[in-house]
Amino acid sequence: MIVLSVIEAGEGLGGTSMAERYMLIYMINVLAIIVVLFIAFFVMFNIRKNKLLQDKIKREQEFETQIAIAKAETQEQILKDIAWELHDSVGQLLIFGNMQAGGLLRLCPETLENKVLEIHETLKSSLTEVRALSKTLNGDVVLDLGFEKSISNELLRLERMRFDKATLQVIGNQQQFIRSKDEVMLFRIIQEFLSNSVKYSLAKTINISMDYQSDFLIVIAKDDGQGFDMDTVEKGSGLININSRAKLINAELTLNSAPGEGVELIIRYPLSKAKHEDALV
């Protein structure tokens, strides 16, 4: 079109020689080609630049993910080591102490019987709690018991120790997790929430519901504690661990709280492979 326009314009110039007209057409075409090449180079440069930037961001995300996975695996191994120490060392000492207290109970005078019985019962209950705690700290035991049973055991343990009431509600049919490690990771998220409730909330009751939907598992954990201001609260290691673990299993987290209204944690974990892959994007 540029050539035709130039030819038509050239034909209108009666005083211009044929050679000059061809030279003008040639220069305009060369200029047009240079402009097109420049635009193409600019577009290709931006595409290449964006691709390099995306690759860099992807590599950084993969590196951060690998660091988070290594950190989580290290924490899991530490918890497993602690669980074994509780079971093998502390547990054995408590068993021995309990046996000694039982023997002493049969030999002590009546004036000391109540005191010795109290010590005996304390050692017995301590042994029960240590065994229960060692189970929740060992990821292999969590996998063996199953997600729901592990949560139920943790609530029973905390109800004995701290809460007036701790309940678990399960809705729908239980479904398999995409990866077994996700089961342990999700349990650790809830365990961290429960630990924070024990330490900070002053709650008397805590409720956990699990809703198995077609593509997602919705877990809601809520306490009736003192709550906190979402805008001013400082993120401690507990919240940081919860968020990092949620990212590793592609779960969505929502934390709701207000002074005097307790704390609510909502976890949306993708159960189907398609939804799990969509969460990665």
Q: Give the CA count within 13 Å in the CB-facing half-sphere of 106.
A: 5
The answer to whether position 217 is within a domain reads yes
pLDDT at 7: 46
The answer to whether position 132 is within a domain reads no
The answer to whether position 192 is within a domain reads yes
β-pairing, 165-171 vs 205-212, is parallel
The answer to whether position 251 is within a domain reads yes
Nearest to 253 by CA among 265, 244, 239, 264: 265
pLDDT at 69: 65
CATH number of the domain at 208, please: 3.30.565.10
Number of domains in the chain: 1
Q: What are the residues whose beta carbons fall under 8 Å from the beta carbon of 3, sequence distance 6 or more?
A: 25, 28, 29
The answer to whether position 19 is within a domain reads no
d(CA 110, CA 103): 14
pTM of full prediction above 0.85: no
Range of the domain at 162: 147-281
Q: Which residues of the chain have pLDDT under 70?
A: 1-16, 61-73, 75, 83-84, 87-88, 273-281
The answer to whether 207 touches 221, Cβ cutoff 8 Å, is yes
pLDDT at 132: 78
pLDDT at 109: 78
The answer to whether position 119 is within a domain reads no
Phi-psi region of 218 (alpha: psi -120 to 50; beta: other; left: phi over 0): beta
Cα angle: 48, vertex 52, 58; to 5 degrees: 145
d(CA 86, CA 116): 24
Cα angle: 126, vertex 88, 75; to 5 degrees: 90
Lateral strand order in the sheet of 263-270: 165-171, 205-212, 216-223, 263-270, 252-257
pLDDT at 4: 44
pLDDT at 6: 44
Give how far Cα 70 sits from Cα of 76, 78, 235, Å.
Answer: 10, 12, 22
Chain Cα centroid distance, residue 70: 14
pLDDT at 240: 81
Q: What are the residues whose beta carbons fall under 8 Å from the beta carbon of 182, sequence distance 6 or more?
A: 249, 269
The answer to whether position 25 is within a domain reads no
The answer to whether position 202 is within a domain reads yes
Question: Residue 176, SS3?
Answer: coil
